Every structure is written in structure tokens, then in C-alpha cells.
Structure 1
Amino acid sequence: MIHLQNVTLTFPDGDNRITAVDDVSLRGDNGTVTGITGPSGSGKSSLLAVAATLIRPDSGGVLIGDGGAAIDAAQLTKREAAALRREQIGIVFQQSNLLPALTAREQVQVMGRLGGTGRARRARIDARADELLDAVGLSEHAGKRPHQLSGGQRQRVAIARGLVHEPQVLLIDEPTSALDQERGAEIMQLIARLTRERDTATLLVTHDLIHRDLFDDLVTIVDGRIVQPDTASPGASPAVGGRGEAAIA
């Protein structure tokens, strides 16, 4: 589970500060996909960066985990936050960002080995890499390098890489932006399926709402705040109910 509580994030702008995220509360439960949409520059990616512990918010909490075992990532040091990312957070960026020299299998293995290199751990990660490549439909392409894969296949590798360390939380930024509609649909369906199978709490930033029925919740951010249908900008999608929580704090 991930629970953002009254998160505010600002950036310096000369003598003033610009508010990128404005007092936002948002919750994603295990086994659910929460879509985050809104116009460009509305704060979606900034919010995802806070959730990923890549940026510390000015105020608010980022609770990861369930019940009394939840950790407030906003209070961690940089080293502690990095350790939390390795252990509990999977991140899939807008671009697949695969390493050109590595095969699909090696891309997944390398990410899984960041937390240690013992023989038992290597064997476990290798087996998990093969399992995940099979889960995303790439077993037959495990030995190929990025230039030998299509855009959709590269994004599938990135998703497998994000799941290799069995994270509680999966954060995904615009996974279909570089894909055609058919490949984009396949990726969105894959994310929804793996979220449920792996029981992760998935937050997904997207402009592609054709497959909004795959989301358990969908929230719209405008000017750094979650808005309701009557205050959303033209063409923006409203927040809709589901198993998660989204609120204007």
C-alpha cells in the first residue's frame, strides 16, 4: 500500500517558489491500479517523483507498507530512501531506458542484483528474471538486446525490471506515450494483470484514457491539486471511485 498524505512540493523560482504539488492526498491499495491524469505541467510527474522517494516534499507524508509496519518515506535520509527503492518500490519511466549492451534477461537481472551479490541471491534473481520475462511474454526474446526489440517489447522488459525485486509499490510514468494504440492497449492490460497477480499498489501517470476501465481509481490533477469533475479543465477526466482513496486535502 502507498498513502500520500497532504503532500506539498515547491521549486525555487528566483525570489519566489512555484508550487508543483499542492496539499494532495492519494492512496493506492495492494492489487489495484490508480490512474493519475491531467494536463501537461499539472504536477503529475512531480507527484510520482515524490512517491518514488526521488524528491522530498516540502510537507506531508509518503507512507509505504501496511498498518503499523508502514514507513514514512518523506522522513528518510537519502541513503535510507535509496534502500527503500531497492527493496519496496518499482519504477517504470516514460522511456524504457534499457542499457544498449545488455540482453533483455540481463536488464532484469542487473536491477535485481543491486541489493546484494551472494550466490543464493543471484540464483534467486536469475530464476525470477526468467519468470517475469515469461509473464510479460518475452521468454523467446530473453537473449535479445534493445535494438533487436520493438518499442512495446522494450517497455515490457522495463516492466519486468521494475518488478524483479518484488516491490510493494509500482510507479509508472506514461507507459504508452511512444506506442501505437494496439501496443499501448497490450501494455495497459499487462500492467493491470501483473498488478493483481503480484498484489502491488500501482500508481500510473497517463494521458491515454481509452482503457480507463482497467483502473480501480482515476484522479485528475490540475495546477498541482486533485480536482472534481466540475472544476477540471476541459477534456480532463474526473476522479472516479474505486478501492483506493483520492481526496482534495
Structure 2
Amino acid sequence: MITLDNVTLTYPDGASRLVAVDGVSLTARPGTVTGITGPSGSGKSSLLAIAATLIRPDSGRVMIGDTDASALDAAEATALRRERIGIVFQQSNLIASLTAREQLEVMDHLGGRRSGRRDTAARRARALELLEAVGLAGQADKRPSQLSGGQMQRINIARALMHDPEVLLVDEPTSALDQERGAEIIALIGRLTRERGTATMLVTHDLSHLDALEQSIRVVDGRIAERTTADPAAVSAGAPGHTHRAEPVGSRIAV
């Protein structure tokens, strides 16, 4: 589980400071996807960066399970990300010279999780298992130039799951995909979240995907303006089943 507790983030803006995130409280629970939407410049990406421990908030707490990540120093935050947080960036940033399987293996190797011949075999088995989970079992030996945009994004997702994180943070995974491929990626993230019990936060600009998420928030000027919750059974079944409740801009909503 990941909880943002009354987090605020500001940036220097001349003689004053610009408020990017303003007193947001938010909880994403294991096995569910929380969508984060809002207009450009509303604070969505800043909120995700705080959750990822890439930026320390000015105030408030970021709880990963029972760990206060906002109190960690830089080295401790890096270790936390390697061990407990998976991040899917907007661009897949795959290494051109590596195969799909090697893209995953190198992440495990860089994390220092396994070394030695026996551990190398475990790393390969883990990579192949995840490629199968994202529907790419037959593409393990292909390089990025041989793959479609949707396939590369699937590798991006599998790579983020390589170290079995408890929190998965996803930034605009469908921005470079058409509507059909985008819907497939959102459905894949939802399925993997439920199967693997991750607490997933997903930033998206495409409101057509919200029916596939257990809950979502709309951010305006750094504050939560609205939330949408869904019937979990309806989400699992792929059917629309949301109930809506709008809150005034400036309220803090825990979901």
C-alpha cells in the first residue's frame, strides 16, 4: 500500500514559489489501480514523482507500507525504489542492443539482486515468466527495432515488475499508442495489478480508460477536485460500474 498524507510541493518562481501539489492525501491499496487525471500543468506528474520518492515534498508524508519514504536520505530512497517500487515511464527507453529478455535481466542485475551462475538462471527464468505474463513469450529474443510500440510498452511494464514491487507507478502509458492498443495496455496493467497485488497509481490524460480502473482522482491546480470510485466486481468483469462523487476544488480526499 502507498499513502500520500497531506503532501505539498512548491518550486521557486522568481521571488515567490509556485505550488505544484497542495495538501493532497491519497491512498492506493494492493490489487487496485488508482488513476490520476487532470489538465496539463495540474500537478499530476509532480504527484507521481513524489510517490516514486524522486522528489521530496515540502511537507507531508509518503508511506510505502509502514516506511516513511519522505524521511529517507537519497541513498535510502534509491534502495527503496530498487526493492519496493516499480516505475513505468511514458517512454519505454529500451536499450537498442538488448533483446526483450535482456531488457528485464539487466534491471535485475543493476539492482544487485542476483549474481553467480545459479542466480543468472533464476534471473532468466523470472524474465521469461514476466514476458509470458505480458503476452510476449514468443518475442523474448527480439530487439526493439523488431517490435511494435505496443510490444515495447509491454516490455516496459514487465521490466518494472522484475523485482516484484509492492507499488507500481505508471506515467501516461498510452500516450504514443492508438485507442485500441492503449485500451489493451490499460487492461494489462489492471490484470497484472490484481494478479500480483501491487498498489498501482497511473497518470493518464485519456478519460476513456477510467471505467477500467478501481478508482481515479482529478487534479486541478495541485489539489484533488473530484474522485470516481468503481464497483470492484464490475472492474474485474470489464463492465462499467462507477459511482461518481464530485468534491469542490481544494478539498483533500483519501481514496
Scaled by the length of structure 1, the TM-score of the pair is 0.90
2:77 is aligned, of 71, 81, 106, to 81
**What one-letter code is carried by the residue in structure 2 that aligns with 1:248?**
R
Residues 1:114 and 2:110 are matched in the alignment: yes
SS of equivalent residue, structure 1 residue 130:
helix
Higher relative contact order (CA 8 A, sep 6+): 1
- Paired with 1:243 and 1:50, the residues of 2 have a C-alpha distance of 28
Q: Could you tell me whether the CA contact under 8 Å between 1:32 and 1:243 is conserved in 2?
A: no
Q: Could you tell me whether the CA contact under 8 Å between 1:217 and 1:243 is conserved in 2?
A: no
SS of equivalent residue, structure 2 residue 163:
coil
Q: What is the total number of aligned residue pairs between the two structures?
A: 234
SS of equivalent residue, structure 1 residue 240:
strand
Q: 1:45 maps to which residue?
A: 45
- Paired with 1:100 and 1:112, the residues of 2 have a C-alpha distance of 18
- Paired with 1:112 and 1:71, the residues of 2 have a C-alpha distance of 23
- Paired with 2:6 and 2:180, the residues of 1 have a C-alpha distance of 37
Task: Please list every run of at least 4 consecutive aligned residues from structure 1 whose deviation after the TM superposition is greater than 4 angstroms.
Answer: none
2:190 is aligned, of 178, 192, 215, to 192
- Paired with 2:164 and 2:122, the residues of 1 have a C-alpha distance of 12
Q: 2:235 maps to which residue?
A: none
Q: 1:131-164, CA deviations, whole angstroms, 9 ceiling, x for partnerless residues?
A: 0000111111111111111000000000000001
> Which region of structure 1 is more displaced relative to structure 2, 6-15 or 79-88?
6-15
Q: Following superposition of structure 1 onto structure 2, how do residues 159-238 of structure 1 map, counting pairs within 5 Å?
A: 159-228=157-226
**What one-letter code is carried by the residue in structure 2 that aligns with 1:15?**
A
Identity of aligned residues (%): 65
Q: 1:62-84, CA deviations, whole angstroms, 9 ceiling, x for partnerless residues?
A: 0001xxxx101100010000000
> Which region of structure 1 is more displaced relative to structure 2, 96-105 or 115-124?
115-124
Alignment CA distance shift 1:164-1:202 (3 Å): same
Residue segments in structure 1 that go unaligned for 5+ positions in a row: 229-238
1:137 is aligned, of 135, 138, 159, to 135
**What one-letter code is carried by the residue in structure 1 that aligns with 2:38?**
G
2:99 is aligned, of 103, 127, 149, to 103
- Paired with 1:41 and 1:211, the residues of 2 have a C-alpha distance of 20
- Paired with 2:46 and 2:160, the residues of 1 have a C-alpha distance of 19
Alignment CA distance shift 1:19-1:12 (3 Å): same
**Considering only aligned residues, what root-mean-square deviation do their CA atoms show, in Å?**
1.6
Q: 1:94-142, CA deviations, whole angstroms, 9 ceiling, x for partnerless residues?
A: 1111111111111111111223242243332221110000011111111
**What one-letter code is carried by the residue in structure 1 that aligns with 2:252?**
I
Q: 2:64 maps to which residue?
A: 64
- Paired with 2:141 and 2:201, the residues of 1 have a C-alpha distance of 30
Residue segments in structure 2 that go unaligned for 5+ positions in a row: 233-246
Residues 1:248 and 2:252 are matched in the alignment: yes
Q: 1:26 maps to which residue?
A: 26
